[in-house]
Chain A
Amino acid sequence: MIQPETKYTKVDDSWIAYQVVGDGPIDVCFVGGFTSNIETIWDWPSFARIFERIASWSRLILFDPRGSGVSDPLPYDREPTWENLTQDLRSVLDAAGSRRAAILGQVDGALAAILFAATYPDRSSALVLWNGYARSTTAPDYPIGWAPEMQDSLFDVYDKIWGRIDMVSLVDPSRAEDAGYVRAMARYMRTSSSPGRALATMRYYQFVDARSTLPSVRVPTLVLASHNLFIGIEAGKYIAAHIPGARFVEVASKDLTLAAMPIEIVDEIEEFVTGSRRTVAADRVLATVLFTDIVGSTEKAANLGDRRWKELLASHDRTLRDEVQRQNGRLVNTIGDGMLATFDGPGRAIRCAHALGRALETLDIRIRAGLHTGEIELREGDDIGGIAVHIASRVMHEAGPGEVICSRTVKDLVAGSEFAFDDRGVCTLKGVPDQWQLYAVRQA
């Protein structure tokens, strides 16, 4: 039996636990989501055999995201957002010395896997999703998933059965009579997430909507889905239909977890991952684009006079650089009296826009800010291009003094987290096709 060594790496102020198993030619990183404990998963023989098989042809990287398993806890008012999970994933790959890995995401872990693959195509050799979903609740344009009131009653049930053997018969019904399996899985759930943590996380994922990122995934993608009660097969079909060129495999089983699957499922994954080793040109990536602009700059410049205005602009630029760096963003350029920056997570971009507004107020400068998440082209030098950049610029023009305006895409991606929004209605954006639903992000 494999007994991997656990190591820790630090992200923000939290310790993240990870393991590296096997020494195959391909890196595979498993993203388990909140049901994750890299210590006790090895005590669950049905799951351990899946990992052992994967590690027989790869270098398998496992980790527990913040708030789960043996990584540091999170306070309950701070959710382990999928943006954070993506950050944890990237830090673990860095710590494990992995330049490029196939990302294997299961259930809620699939959301972070999708965001990672779209944002870092150069670090993702393939994307494999097991019972993933892009959205868990129904919407007018998304009949798949749970009606919100159904989901609430489901939470009331979880409250009583999380981590107990009764839950196993719902998760993997075909194994309900297998006492050893049931015990091992219940224990794995308990050691992954306490009931309070599990409920808080499930409530958060209720609101997440990642559908808009699917077309930006350019890495070879395999979507596997079973006829399980929790996610349903349609959620998988939807993902496969919206990721360009994704391959869909329907698994004839009512069970949710990989542990309940025959070992041949790993062979399916191996064939796909080892067959997709061509390098994808990383010239198109998913990013959140932030534009800012000084309000009334012409009048201000005239009032202050050239010298004083130039000094003020220099302070303004310094503040921009500091705040963008603080949120791990990339400052693309400063444009006269504004800037263009990109971020790998929309939450960080929003925090940066707000922090900038506050910091510049002390210089008596008011800005407007616009945000959009979409695919950008990486060009010569540090320049970027693409329609998403134009959209972000147009979104900014809809912002009033001191406002941060974003597209619906941004709002959907950070749903359930600390941000609150005011609906700004549907607009046409100059030179951009379609109608755009915009939102003002409230100051925290």
Chain B
Amino acid sequence: MIPPDTQYTRVGDSFVGYQVLGDGPIDLVHVTGMTGNIDTQWDLPPFARFLERLASFSRLIMFDRRGSGISDSIALDALPTWETWIEDLTAVLDATGSERAAFLTEQDGGLWGLLFAATHPERTSALLLFNPWVRSLASEDNPGGFTREAIEARMTTWGEIWGTKAASAMGMPSYADDPEAIRALAKFYRSSLAPGAAFAQMRHLADVDARDVLPSVRVPSLVMHRKDWNLIPAPVIRSVAEGIPGAQLVEVPGNDGAPWGSGWERIVDEIEGFLSDVRHGEEPNRILATILFTDIVGSTERAVDVGDKRWKELLSEHDRVARAQIERFRGRFVSTTGDGVVATFDGPGRAIRCAHSIGRALRPAGIQIRAGLHTGEIELREGDDIGGIAVHIAARVMAEAGPGEVVCSRTVKDLVAGSEFTFTDRGVCALKGVPDQWQLHLVNAS
């Protein structure tokens, strides 16, 4: 078969490559993990047949995220947050004119599938997670995970043997005994990622934790798993299905990491069946967002000091600056709170950068602020208003911030793990009027 034409779309200054195949009634986006190359994927016969079958009942959209395959590369010493990669996804949806699509994710691609579905339910008709990767590190609340030593040891091994047949057989064990298949697979992996790039991305993944996002996914979801795949423990994958409200779990035999491994026909059948059952749901009114609260430090004293007229001028300067920064970081301005603002962001990294940036921009005016951040589900209400417990939590988190500080909940920290941000532990707090104990973190100024 002749593969579909490859095209590029731009994300800022970068290029992202994509392909479209088929003209079925539903848009289906294939979100690979870090190993992907839309040009060379067609060289693997089972992969090509798998994609053709998907395209027989959908309009199949394929792309390489930045840093993989044929798309522009990323700096290995400063890996981006998920938001950057979600920008790639959004740009490809826009370039292909897709308003609403189902997402078929593989392995670490599941991280963005989850985040995108929770943040943009209106653009997500269904979420199909194959061997999803949400948390690999073991902890008290993730006893099925691996220890950091085990992850490091595995990464070291992979770094040394990346691109060899042996390493490829670890990802897709069913290929191991067929010399021609394993040779082609190793070549595909090499064309996806260079060893240094693979190593950097695997290290990055070890710290990511997306479990807090699971309850906010409100789109029809199917979690698929090959029972004997050993890179993510089975209990961790089952907990993904349990964590997403109403998600279905399908376990199939085998131990390959990618859906196009052995027995892929059954997986395609499951996908086709699931998608044909998906009905267009109601317009969603609950979405995942990162909420930013800010507040001017010592506002009463300041107001008394400078007098009414000057204070009013300072406040309007504050509002102007805050709105401009929120817009710059593509947030949504919700309201002012007298001497602060509320805004929501679809990515936690941009919310953090915005908080720091508002603080810096107000300094020349002699205004100091405190800021609080939390990521959670919000309700979209009449007008531009928002509601929900997450909004209260963000307001309480802000109250814990000292002058000039940006404090966030653990959820925010987990979502930007591995990126440019560093944090100082602020211990566990009770937040007024909010149940449970909350682990808070100070975001260090960059």
Contacts and interface: CB of A to CB of B under 8 A. Distances in A.
Interface string B187-199: 1001100111100
Interface in B352-410: none
Interface string A182-197: 0100110011001111
A191 B40 CA distance: 8
Most buried by B among A40, A194, A197: A194
Contacts of A362: none
A39 B187 contact: yes
B13 A40 contact: no
Given A183-B2, A196-B72, A15 B194 contact: yes
A73 B6 contact: no
Interface stretch (B20-28, B73-81, B110-118, B249-257): B73-81
A85 B183 CA distance: 28
A194 B9 CA distance: 12
A351 interface: no
Interface residues of A, number: 31
B119 interface: no
A377 interface: no
A71 B14 CA distance: 19
A197 B72 contact: yes
Nearest to B37: A191
B195 A15 contact: yes
Interface string B108-144: 0000000000000000000000000000000000000
Interface in A170-228: 183, 186-187, 190-191, 194-197
B72 A72 contact: no
B73 A197 contact: yes
A70 B183 CA distance: 16
Contact of B196 (A14, A43, A194, A197): A14
Contacts of B196: 13-15, 72-73
A196 B15 contact: yes
A320 interface: no
A72 B194 contact: yes
A73 B193 CA distance: 9
Contact of B6 (A15, A72, A187, A197): A187
B195 A190 contact: no
A74 B195 contact: no
B71 A194 contact: yes
A164 interface: yes
Contact of B72 (A13, A37, A40, A195): A195
B403 to A, nearest CB: 36
A73 B7 CA distance: 21
B70 interface: yes
A196 B70 contact: no
A190 B72 CA distance: 10
B2 A191 contact: no
Interface string A121-160: 0000000000000000000000000000000000000000
Contacts, number: 86
Interface in B27-77: 37, 39-40, 43, 67, 70-77
B17 interface: yes
B171 interface: no
A6 B191 CA distance: 11
A70 to B, nearest CB: 5
Most buried by B among A13, A70, A74, A197: A70
B163 interface: yes
B421 interface: no
Contacts of A186: 6
B8 interface: yes
A196 B14 contact: yes
A194 B76 contact: no
Contacts of A71: 194
Nearest to A67: B73
A194 B2 contact: no
A165 B72 CA distance: 19
A72 B187 contact: no
A167 to B, nearest CB: 12
Given A3-B183, A43-B43, A190 B17 contact: yes
B73 A70 contact: no
B13 to A, nearest CB: 7
A163 B195 contact: no
Contacts of A70: 163, 190-191, 194
Interface in A6-23: 6, 8, 13-15, 17
A165 B5 CA distance: 9
B194 A187 contact: no
A357 B163 CA distance: 43
B247 to A, nearest CB: 36
A75 interface: yes
A6 B163 CA distance: 8
Interface of A: 3, 6, 8, 13-15, 17, 37, 39-40, 43, 67, 70-76, 163-165, 183, 186-187, 190-191, 194-197
15 contacts: A8-B163, A39-B190, A40-B39, A70-B163, A70-B191, A72-B194, A73-B67, A74-B73, A75-B73, A163-B17, A187-B6, A190-B70, A191-B191, A194-B73, A195-B15
Closest 10 CB pairs of A and B: A73-B73, A196-B72, A72-B196, A75-B75, A195-B15, A15-B195, A72-B194, A194-B72, A190-B70, A70-B190
Given A191-B70, A196-B15, A196-B72, 10 more contacts: A3-B183, A8-B195, A15-B194, A39-B40, A67-B73, A72-B194, A163-B8, A164-B7, A194-B17, A195-B8
